[in-house]
Amino acid sequence: MNRIIIDTDAGVDDAHSILLAFGHKKTKIEAFTTVSGNVHVDKTTANVLKILDVVGQDVPVFKGCSAPLVKPPKYASFVHGEDGLGDCGIPASQRTIEDQHAVHAIINMADAHPGEFSIVAIGPLTNIAVATMLDPSLPSKIKELTIMGGAVTGKGNDNVTAEFNIAFDPEAARIVFDKWPMVRVVDWEITVANGLGKEEIAQMHAIQSPRAEFYRNISAKTIKVIKEYFHMDMIFTADGLAMAAALEPSVIKSKEIKHLTVELRGESTRGMTVVDWVGMGGQKPNAEIITAFDKPRYMEMIKEGLN
């Protein structure tokens, strides 16, 4: 049984990945920790509660960091809507969150159950970095850390070279890659390579269930933005791919184990994930970079989550 903590900036693709996780029979979601990213943490926290309403499940939710470590936030409401869930009128939840801060919740859960929980981080890495600085032994007490983040060959979606989650808080990402011995990485480029086209979107939209209806509603704005500004009839499910890789590693068809760091200073490269592809730096590999997916199985996992 996978026992996971989902660290999320709950936007549209986060919601998609969370539905996928709830549909996976061999997974138990132990907690949600929220962070600013797609929208402010107050909204991402509210969005997790709305998702729990849709699936009818009770899972502890801990609100986390409200801003990046150094620079002011740059949100992605352009894609996800001002509310983070496509501005489609999803009603507020009556559920409540836990009193404890997400960072302390992560540390305390790891202390109570060392080696039992994996973290799937599908937003900026602020919570994970702060938890790691407060408890440097945290990586040894977490079974696996999987992240959605980076653009390993420099083809970003936030600026020329950087992916949004990393670029939102590069200092946090740098801390995580410096301090964790191994991080599973699902980056933006593998996301684009596994984008879902018109036929696959139609298959998802054909499912008749409350979860599928919820996803149809929240994803409409994102699909429209991609079509209008990128001239593609597609949707990119970055966080879903990261979740699939964490829950069912057999969906990974190829990977590279390399050293990865995060650029903090470059005028055009701040937030870039820099990979030492040939070992020139002589540093120990710290990243499992996913380079190919079993897409048919991934589509099955999506449908299981929407049904």
Instruction: Give whole-number Cα distances, 273 to 68, 158, 285, in Å.
Output: 17, 12, 14
Strand 287-293 with 252-262, pairing: antiparallel
Report the distance separating Cα 124 and Cα 41, nearest Å. Answer: 11
Name the catalytic one among 9, 13, 14, 83: 9
Instruction: Give whole-number Cα distances, 128 to 16, 106, 149, 218, 246, in Å.
Output: 22, 8, 13, 27, 16
* Token couple for 131: 């938890």
Which residue blocks in 56-101 are alpha helix, DSSP H?
Answer: 77-80
Name the catalytic one among 24, 187, 231, 294: 231
Is residue 16 among the annotated active site residues? no
Is residue 262 within 8 A of residue 271, CB to CB? The reply is yes
Is residue 231 among the annotated active site residues? yes
Active site residues: 9, 231
